Amino acid sequence: MEFELVEVFGSGPLTGGPLGVVVLDTTYDDALMQRLAARLAMPETVFLRGGADGEVEVRIFTPYVELDFAGHPLVGAAAVAVQKGLAAPGRVALRTRGGTVRARVGPAADSAVLEERPCRVGPPVAPDLVCEAVGLAPDAAAGPVRPASAGLGFVCLPVSAAGLRSARALPLEVAALADRVPGLADVFGVAVFVPQLPEVRSRVFVPEPVCAEDPATGSAALAVAGWLADERRPEESLAFDIVQGTAELGLARMQVRVRRQAGRGLLAGVGGAVRTLVRGRLLLDGTADRT
């Protein structure tokens, strides 16, 4: 199987979010894909296969679970699909387990932009346990703490610049938030950010020990965009960059746009660079769990 390690939303070499991309010529057992994602130990690994009517079939796995939607994996999948000839440049349809997602990819296939998605922002929740789940004091929130989702839910925690630097990965505490805090049953992680435009700094923490701090998270960027638009209620759309990560992880840069449309609520999109770091082949026993 062809394999690539790409960096999505990178601001330079060895930055952004690492993504394993496996190109399939047939279907494989779900358990095999999950084990392979665990072995590769990327924040996510996607499996691509050419589908009907020009769509690209995409399966998204963390080292632990399969996801219906995730931002940086779909941005990377769209660009690699064009590079591999599974889709033509322009509007690329990605058929995921959660439905079809569309992205725009230029002829160079060195970046991609997810088309606008509805973004739901929930009511404020008690901040103390959310702050403590990322190693901060119970009163560290610098604004309302609210869940938001454009396909994968995050609780949005605004903080000061000092708070952003002090946050730390506590995956078990993040995992417990869904049960411990009313209103967070559907969240996957915590997006910690400094709500300052035009460049928002952020860090994202998830409940998975292998990648407890995610270096680049498109779905969290969409959630933060929804939070900002709902809090500020601009007359027109907001367009800004989110810079996520740390000096040790590398900094990711995501271009985000969010607007409010009558009858549809908030709509948000995210895009950025896609760069191939490693290209090769995965060699598996031909009898292993193949359907």
Residue 291 has pLDDT above 80, yes or no: no
Q: Span 111-135, mean pLDDT? A: 97
pTM: 0.93
* In the predicted structure, residue 13 carries a pLDDT above the cut 90: no
The packing angle between helices 71-83 and 218-232, to 10°, is 130
Q: Give the pLDDT confidence score for residue 235 in this predicted structure.
A: 74
| Average pLDDT for the chain | 94
> pLDDT, tens digit, for every residue of 229-252?
999 887 779 999 999 999 998 999
* pLDDT score of 209 more than 60: yes
Q: For the residues 270-286, what does the mean pLDDT come to?
A: 90
What pLDDT does 161 receive?
A: 98
Q: What is the pLDDT of residues 43-66, one digit of tens each?
A: 999 999 998 788 999 999 999 999
191 Cβ contact partners less than 8 Å away, ≥ 6 residues apart: 154, 155, 156, 157, 202, 204, 217, 220, 223, 224
Distance (Å, rounded) from C-alpha 120 to C-alpha 37? 29
Beta-carbon count within 10 A of 38 CB: 15
How far is the C-alpha of 39 from the C-alpha of 37, rounded, in Å? 5
% the chain with pLDDT above 70: 98
For residue 206, the model assigns a pLDDT of 97
The yes-or-no verdict on residue 285 having pLDDT over 70 is no
Report the pLDDT value the prediction gives residue 258, as an integer from 0 to 100.
96
Question: Based on the number of CB atoms within 10 Å of its own CB, is 130 exposed (0-12), middle (13-18) or buried (19 or more)?
Answer: buried
Encoded tokens for 83? 């590079």
How far apart (Å, rounded) are the C-alpha atoms in residues 211 and 220? 15
Q: Is 52 exposed, middle or buried (0-12, 13-18, 19+ CB in 10 A)?
A: exposed
